[in-house]
A and B are shown apart, each in its own frame.
Chain A
Amino acid sequence: QVTLKESGPGILQPSQTLSLTCSFSGFSLSTSGMGVGWIRQPSGKGLEWLAHIWWDDNKRYNPALKSRLTISKDTSSNQVFLKIASVDTADTATYFCAHMGDGNYFPYWGQGTLVTVSA
Chain B
Amino acid sequence: DIVLTQSPASLAVSLGQRATISCRASQSVSTSSYSYVHWYQQKPGQPPKLLIKYASNLESGVPARFSGSGSGTDFTLNIHPVEEEDTATYYCQHSWEIPRTFGGGTKLEIK
**B75 contacts the other chain (CB 8 A):** no
**A26 contacts the other chain (CB 8 A):** no
Tell me which of B48, B93, B99, B101 has the highest count of chain A C-beta atoms within 10 A of its own C-beta.
B99
Please tell me if the beta carbons of B53 and A62 are within 8 angstroms of each other in the complex: no
* Stretch of A16-24, A82-90, A102-110 lying at the B interface: A102-110
Give A26-71 interface residues, CB cut-off 8 Å to B. 37, 46-49, 52, 60-64
Q: How large is the interface on A (under 10, 10 to 19, 20 to 34, 35 or more residues)?
A: 20 to 34
Please tell me if the beta carbons of A46 and B104 are within 8 angstroms of each other in the complex: yes
Q: Is the interface of B mostly helix, strand, loop or mixed?
A: loop
Tell me which of A52, A98, A107 has the highest count of chain B C-beta atoms within 10 A of its own C-beta.
A107
Please tell me if the beta carbons of A63 and B53 are within 8 angstroms of each other in the complex: no
Q: A residues touching B (Cβ–Cβ < 8 Å)?
A: 37, 46-49, 52, 60-64, 96, 98, 103-107, 109-112
Q: Is the interface of A mostly helix, strand, loop or mixed?
A: loop
Please tell me if the beta carbons of B95 and A103 are within 8 angstroms of each other in the complex: yes
Residue of A nearest to B93 (CB): A105
**B24 contacts the other chain (CB 8 A):** no
Those 7 A-B pairs whose CB atoms lie nearest each other, nearest first: A104-B95, A109-B47, A49-B100, A105-B38, A47-B102, A62-B99, A107-B50
